[in-house]
Each structure stands twice: as structure tokens, then as C-alpha cells.
Amino acid sequence: MYECQVEILGLTGSYPDTPVRTRLCSYDIICGIPLFITAKSPTHGQIVGIQSDTDLTFAPTIELLKVAMWLCFPDFPKFTFDEHPSDSILVRSPRQLQWGTIAAIVRRVFSDSAGELTVRNPTNGYGQRTQNGGVSTVRLAGQAPSTDVLVQIWSHDDRQTGAAIASEARAHALFRRDIHVPTNLAKRLFGLLSTSPRLVQVAAHYYGRACMLVDQGFVEEAGLSLYLVYETIMKDFELLHGMRGKKQSLKRLKRAVRLPAGYYPWLDELWEARRRFLAHPDYWMFTDNQRINDPDGYCYDHFIALSLLLMKYARYRHQHPEEVELPDPYD
């Protein structure tokens, strides 16, 4: 049985108004509602493309897609995403579905104002029960019976119909209509990250955390996450070339992966900020000597340098695809 997970966004976040559809997952807008869509195959939950199979990634594909979209604007994250969507749709089918069929199913759910489909609410129990325990069958008009799919709708409050879920999400969806994501670039960056070695995807994870944290006002934590992007790339480069120590690794990294003039000094400043105060309590907080009261020195001005380094290093690793042996976490 193929499965497709649809995460309904909109309650928090500021979303791009440009869909980005890849083989592994998609960001889309249906009925004015931002969504993330991920498909899985019947074999051990393996992720597949909506159109065709492809290799597994280490990191969650949705996370990599977010990072790819952020990297299209490397100087600063231009939009945010709902980190914990409250509502979702699970679509199950005996055969792989095309994107258009999935979109039609989502529209069918969003138009359900009479409660014909089931909403499973973990807090208040089931909405309208069906014989097969909370799963509804959706028959799409004009389609053969073999295209019948099972749909399970999850809502984490008292909304009991698909139309109510859609109305709530649509009311809160805030789109950045002044910023359009270059779709082809986002797809290329997603393809680059999703086929990168594990530590590159780890670096992408910390980059995504920094983008989320800075929007939520956790600037110090965002700066620390940016540093972890830098350290992860240095560690991968060190293991790839059999070197010992960060200083030696960084010296060779700067020669191997070129950045525009002035960007590595910003990363050196970030490294120094981490060593001096980012990873330690600031005991001089709320005084004139406070060290974390200048976010330009460890966060805001460093996004573009880290963005360029992450993209360039991912390309570098595709040119040097050798596997690295990670240290034992228990050593």
C-alpha cells in the first residue's frame, strides 16, 4: 500500500507563494492553503517520488526542501514555515498516485463541509465513525474503481470536517507575495542536498534550525546553530582527507572551497563568538558589558557566508563522493 502524507500549514508562518514540486516531496498551495506532501512506498516505508522511485536521503525530505528554498535567498531567511502542523491527511492507495490525483483528493477533503469524511481527533476521540475505524474511502469522479483511496484526516482540536480544517488554515495563511521562489533553482538545490553525504545533510539540518530560530527571536541559539553548520562541514572535510584537528582542516578547507573575498573572515568571527560566549552563559547580561547584545557579530551578517559555504561544499562533495567513517558516538 502506497502512502502519501499531507501536512496542512497556515496557522503560524510566513509562506512563499510559489509551489516547488520534486520527486521526493513537494511544497504546494491548494485552495489557498500551504501544504507539504511526502510519498512513501509499501516497502518498509521507503520514501519514493510522486512520479518515480529514487534514492533514500538521511535527513527528512521536507527538512531538506525547506533548506533548499531558504538557500535561494542566501543573505537571510525570507519566509518561515509552521514547524509543527496541527492537521494532516494520510492518503493510502494500492498503487502509486500521480500528483494530480493527490491534489484532487486534497481538494475533495477541503470541500467536505458535511462531515462525510472521517476526522480522527486524538483529544476528543473520533468524529464520525466508519466501519473500518476512522478511514474513509474517496471515489474520485471520472476515475476507475481501481483508483479508490483511503483517507485519514488528523485534527488536533475540535474541528470535525475537512472544510473546517481548510477554513482555519486559510484564515491564518500569510504569504510573502513580494518574494517568488525560483522553482528550478530550489529543485536543483534540493537534488544536491538530498543526494549528499550524511554530514552535509547534518549541516543542512543545523542551517534549517538557524532559519527557524532567528524568526522566533532566539538569535543567540540561531547563531550557535550557524556555527554548527560550519563545524559539521569542517569535520566532514577533516574525515574525508584524513586530517587531525580543526585548524588544519579549516586551513585546507579555505583553499579547497573558495568563497568571495571577506566571507571566511565572517566565519572566523562566528568561530570566535562560539568560543568566547555562544556556548557559555553570559554572566554580564543586562549590563553595558553584555556580549550577546550585538547579533550582527554572530548571526544576522553570517547567513550569507554560511549559505554559500553549504552550497559550495555540497557541490565539492559531489566531486569527491568518497565515504567517510564517522567516529563512534560512544567513544
**Inter-axis angle of helices 183-194 and 303-319, to 10 degrees?**
60
As a whole number of angstroms, the distance between CA 183 and CA 20 comes to: 6
From CA 125, how far away is CA 187, in angstroms rounded? 40
Residue that terminates a domain, selected from 143, 176, 209: 176
Q: How confident is the model at residue 298, as a pLDDT?
A: 87
Look at residue 187 and tell me if it is in a domain: no
Average pLDDT over every residue of 235-257 = 89
Q: Are residues 170 and 219 in the same domain?
A: no
> Could you tell me the CA-to-CA distances from 73 to 106, 182, 201, 277, 286 in Å, in that order?
30, 10, 19, 28, 34
In whole numbers, what is the pLDDT of the chain averaged over residues?
84
User: Do 31 and 69 fall into the same domain?
Assistant: yes
Residues 166 and 210 in one domain: no
Give 54 or 245, the one with higher predicted confidence. Answer: 245
Query: pTM score > 0.85 for this model?
Result: yes
23 and 168 share one domain: yes
For 148-192, the pLDDT digits (tens) are 678 888 887 777 788 999 999 999 999 998 889 999 999 999 999
Is 165 in the same domain as 278?
A: no
**One-letter identity of residue 313:** Y
Amino acid 128: pLDDT: 45
Q: Which pLDDT band, with edges at 50, 70 and 90, does 137 fall under?
A: low
Give the pLDDT confidence of 307-319 residue by residue, as tens digits. 999 999 999 999 9
Residue 98 has pLDDT above 90, yes or no: no
At residue 264, does pLDDT exceed 50? yes
Predicted confidence at residue 135, as pLDDT, reads: 52
* Residue-number span of the structural domain to which 169 is assigned: 2-176
Residues 18 and 166 in one domain: yes
In the listed set 110, 143, 176, which residue is the last one of a domain according to the structure?
176
Total domain count for the chain? 2
> Predicted confidence band at 131 (pLDDT cuts at 50, 70, 90)?
very low
Pair 142, 8 in one domain: yes
pLDDT in tens, 266-291: 888 888 888 888 888 888 888 888 88
In a domain, 253, yes or no: yes
Query: Which amino acid is located at 163 in the chain?
Result: A
- Mean pLDDT confidence for 294-301: 88
More confident residue, 82 or 49: 82
The verdict on 144 and 207 lying in the same domain is no
More confident residue, 248 or 169: 169
Q: How confident is the model at residue 292 (pLDDT cuts 50, 70, 90)?
A: confident
Range of weakest confidence among 79-88, 115-124, 241-250, 272-281: 115-124
Contact status, residue 149 vs residue 109, Cβ threshold 8 Å: no
Same domain membership, residue 265 and residue 145: no
C-alpha distance from residue 50 to each of 5, 26, 36, 59, 141 (Å): 11, 9, 13, 18, 21
pLDDT-derived band at 53 (thresholds 50, 70, 90) equals very low
Question: Is residue 183 in some structural domain?
Answer: no
Whether residue 243 sits in one domain with residue 119:
no
Indicate whether 46 pLDDT > 90.
no
Please indicate, yes or no, whether residues 118 and 240 belong to a single structural domain of this protein.
no
CA distance 27 to 9: 10
Q: How confident is the model at residue 213 (pLDDT cuts 50, 70, 90)?
A: very high
Supply the pLDDT for residue 181: 95
